[in-house]
Amino acid sequence: MQTLGGDFVAIMGKLNELKDKDDLWVIHFEVDEETHQFKHLFWMSPRQVTLAQQFSDVIINDIAMLRNQYGCPLNIFVVIDQFFITWNIAYTLHTSETAEEHTWALDCLFDVLPPCPERVFLSDADLGLDAAVSKRPRSEVAFHGQCLNHLDGNVIKKLAPILGPIFQSFREAFWSVYYAISPKAFEDAWQELLTKYPAAQEYLNRELWPDCER
């Protein structure tokens, strides 16, 4: 890697080589104008472009943190096809998770996607990403929802240490509230949950209630 100029130079060299062979590769790369250091990288293979254009009515976005030696967040965009098979359609390497970084990645992605006035975008709760998605036009994102797997993981991480032996009963009650049959039933069940588990009130009201529609 070092003889090729370092990891990022080698990665860019390989991606440019692939694009020279097939112009359908989508590659965007940016460096800081002052420091000339790596800033972010976006790429999609021709197969991924085709999948994205066919099945992007629902997009799932996940960010892998601290999984490489440089600490660069890896942003992964996913769709599900007509056979319920999951496909990765795009990747972005960032140096941070600011709204600006996410906006850059979304600009790259949505430049490839067709308009979809009913598109659903699902992600973990992330302030930078929330800000970036909220600025997209309705022709790109109609609804931004939170991933249930991340939601459950966050509830476990934040409340299991606080609730201790009663956490499992809380978790069952929490998901019962989630599956309420109407907004009114949801609000009533939410108040019951707060009353029954007062130790969880602060987290529930501060972190989850503001995003209840998502």
pLDDT tens figures, 9-26? 788 888 889 999 999 999
Nearest to 102 by CA among 129, 142, 127, 126: 129
Structure tokens given for 168:
């499992």
Residue tagged 């609804």 (tokens): 143
User: What pTM did the predictor assign?
Assistant: 0.81
Low-confidence ranges of the chain (pLDDT < 70): 1-6, 66
How many residues in the chain?
A: 214
Which of the listed residues 128, 146, 164 is the one where a domain comes to its end?
146
23 with 104, same domain?
yes
- Per-residue pLDDT of 157-192, as tens digits, reads 999 999 999 999 999 999 999 999 999 999 999 999
- Greatest CA span in the chain, whole angstroms? 64
Give me the numbers of helices (H) and strands (E) for the chain, helices first please: 8, 7
Query: Same structural domain for residues 142 and 153?
Result: no
pLDDT in the model for residue 171: 96
What integer pLDDT is reported at residue 147 of this predicted model? Answer: 85
101 and 196 together in one domain: no
Residue 65 confidence (pLDDT): 73
Number of domains in the chain: 2
Give the domain range for residue 117.
2-146
CATH code for the domain of 109: 3.30.420
pLDDT of residue 105: 94
Please identify which residue in the block is written with the tokens 């994205």: 52
pLDDT attached to residue 4:
47
